[in-house]
Structure 1
């Protein structure tokens, strides 16, 4: 499993002198995130609106994550390399605009960025069923739409991971991240199952239409959400390249963040070598139906939901710092189960379900813990650049892994390529297994880092 985006509220998961204008100040019934006695987020109407909107978005994204590859494989008869290019197109944006996006977002209202990103994604996705209906849909259309979606997602996700501190109080950040991750995992459970059913019953293009409406719903809810961000005045801004460099230096100058980036980046690189070819592996090699494919993801994602719920208890038990290497070891070992399924195809369905369950559970433990630490330790003015710098690395490797997977799949075969990904995944845990995490119980705060 990807240690950042697949399990994170896309995410990476994965979210303040704050920014905005007086006209968009927090409403009277929504106290600023730093004031007063904390109340339950269940009673925070503003947070609940944001949470509800993201539930729609996450649900739709899971349907699309299944529907587009199925459309490519079953309707357009995509080859291994074409599937690799499709995956690479969706993540190329992290290399193209990943770093400047963070600096730009730190100059803008993050909620407004998310609203525009939702609108762009809805419009881009709507083009696919229209092209299919007109009988002119080709693979290059999927590449273009995937690229546009990827760029919008970069801006949405960096904003999403950076806006949490302006919505809730500092002591509620971990709780808010946990709630967002829980919703993502409910979407992971229901989305693929519903998506598989929709693909089987009404075909992949119409399943994509459902996602268009979920992005519209997210757009509407975000429009009615309020935050307490205050945009940095223009005269206080440094040149864009200086601000980008400041974000990079912050991330790689912190010994904890540096190791987290190494672990997450290599894990994502390895897992995407395997997951790029997963639709071909399951649909062609093992003969799964689209509905069975959705069922595997749905049942496995129950682990993610339980992981999000269990994270606070596990962190209290083993300590925040140690939870990171423990989870990394577990999800890297779970990755081996995927190619093993090819050796025992008669039990592939339950084996892959177990693999998804364990991987999702541990990735959620890892993501909630490390994302909360990142948000807590980073100065508010650097939040966007910190998240963008990290995502530039940990998601920037994805298009490279996808293209490599397509080439290796055509050359060595799908199953051999998955073994390569699984073995590389084992090495990712070394970044956090060796280092300061075992010697601490709690990770440092912004004041004692």
Structure 2
């Protein structure tokens, strides 16, 4: 069904916009920190501030943006403007570099504002998706977008590193500028039938409506509690993973990079097979399988030991299978959640989900560091992996395991 979707001009433009933007984001993820390090001599504290400036909009704005967007009739226009705004902001960096006026404070502002526009884009994206894709094709459409995301994870860092090496980090950002301009062009050529805006209530009323729906919906409540649990313990795990692999397993940076790269290949395979798995198992069982297959292979990491080849094999297997699992989980749970959310509430509920999912990540990282210092790294990795597996327990009493097809939209 995926090739048939690509024969539809409207969806094809939407998919192309997502694809070029995802590849550009991979360049940005590498290039902006390198601009700070090489162009402004940023130290550890300054790098922490830059990371915080990038992440802070995900904590501050999704709820408010969601409530506003559900009352705004033209979400596609917001996405185009967000792309153009990010292109302009990032273009400032190489210009300032060439004029020899680049300062760290500029990078903080650029990181915060591009992060804010990314929130606008991502929250509006959910509404545009349902206006372009029939319900029966949600899994296939998410699989196509997931394939682009996984491919960007595989090829994007290498492309970004090459561009930074050849062009320097500030000039490499022009590739990201181009990606946002192309994304805006593709989106501008889409003519979706967007849902009518929601009843224009006050801001607090809009927020309550989104939160209220999440609490009332058994399906959405279970998936959100499950993913929140999974994110908490997953970020505990990954706060310590590189430290553990480097210092206790004695893996070299190149071998560690090889293991992590296997995760992207697993994600690419997961995006390719998820549609077929969901049709064979039923979409609900595929969601449950994703909740297990994502964290379970990570148990191999604290179990790893022995010669270098055995350690590397364990970590490659863990990352590859976890990458497959996370894509299976993201695609199927995303399709189920999109299917049940009423269209007038899509942006608000997306804002609620984004705030919770992004808000729990730094909590998990801090908890991982604290427990790692108190208990040791290996015991904390055990706690994190077992805790992440517990996320599936939220799904078992819900209707999700019994879903053969996508559920009906709730009210």
Q: Same fold (TM over 0.5)?
A: yes
- Tell me, which stretches of 5 or more residues in structure 1 are unaligned? 1-38
Residue of structure 2 in register with 1:112 after alignment: 77
The verdict on how the C-alpha distance between 1:115 and 1:407 changes in structure 2, with shifts beyond 3 A counting, is: farther
Equivalent residues of 1:128, 1:137 under 8 A apart: no
Q: TM-score, normalised by structure 2?
A: 0.83
Separation in 2 of the partners of 1:192 and 1:242? 43
Q: Deviations over 1:401-432 (max 9, x none)?
A: 45556777889898887666445433333322
Larger CA deviation: 331-340 vs 384-393: 331-340
Change (3 A) 1:221 1:397: same
**1:295 Cα deviation from its structure 2 partner:** 5.6
Aligned partner (choices 48, 54, 60) of residue 24 of structure 2: 60
Q: Which runs of 5+ in 2 are unaligned?
A: none
Contact 2:58/2:116 (CA < 8 Å) preserved in 1?
A: yes
2:100 matches 1:171: no
Q: Secondary structure at the match of 1:335?
A: helix
User: Which of residues 176, 186, 209 is equivalent to 1:246?
Assistant: 209
Residue 254 of structure 1 deviates from its aligned partner by 0.9
Q: Does 402-411 or 208-217 show the bigger shift? A: 402-411
Cα distance between partner residues in 2 of 1:47 and 1:56 = 14
Please report how far the alpha carbon of residue 40 of structure 1 lies from its aligned counterpart in structure 2 after TM superposition. 3.0
Contact 1:126 1:209 (C-alpha < 8 Å) held by counterparts: yes
How far 1:372 sits from its partner (Å)? 1.1
Shift of 1:249: 0.7
Higher helix proportion (structure 1 or 2) = 2
Query: Is the 8 Å Cα contact of residues 73 and 279 (structure 1) preserved in structure 2?
Result: no
CA contact (8 A) 1:337 1:351 kept: yes
Greater shift, 142-151 or 419-428, is seen at 419-428
TM-fit CA distance, 1:283: 8.8
Aligned partners of 1:84, 1:408: CA distance in 2, in Å? 21
* Alignment partner, residue 310 of structure 1: 273
Q: 1:208 to 1:405 in 2, by over 3 A?
A: farther
Shift of 1:444: 3.0
Q: Which moved more, 1:432-441 or 1:259-268?
A: 432-441
What is the aligned partner in structure 1 of residue 225 from structure 2? 262
Report deviation, 1:218: 0.8
Q: What corresponds to 2:55 in structure 1?
A: 91
Flag the 1:84–1:361 CA change in 2: closer, same or farther, 3 A. Answer: farther
Give TM-score, length-normalised by structure 1. Answer: 0.77
**Aligned twin of 1:328:** 291
Q: Please say if residues 85 and 402 of structure 1, whose CA atoms lie closer than 8 Å, have aligned partners that are also in contact.
A: no
Q: Answer yes or no: is 1:101 the counterpart of 2:65.
A: yes
Alignment check: 8 A CA contact 1:332 1:428 kept: no
Which deviates further from its counterpart, 371-380 or 424-433? 424-433
> Higher relative contact order at CA 8 Å, sep ≥6: structure 1 or structure 2?
1
Q: Equivalent residue for 2:13?
A: 49
More divergent stretch after superposition (223-232 vs 275-284): 275-284
Corresponding residue pairs, total:
404
Could you say which residue in structure 1 is the equivalent of 2:188? 223
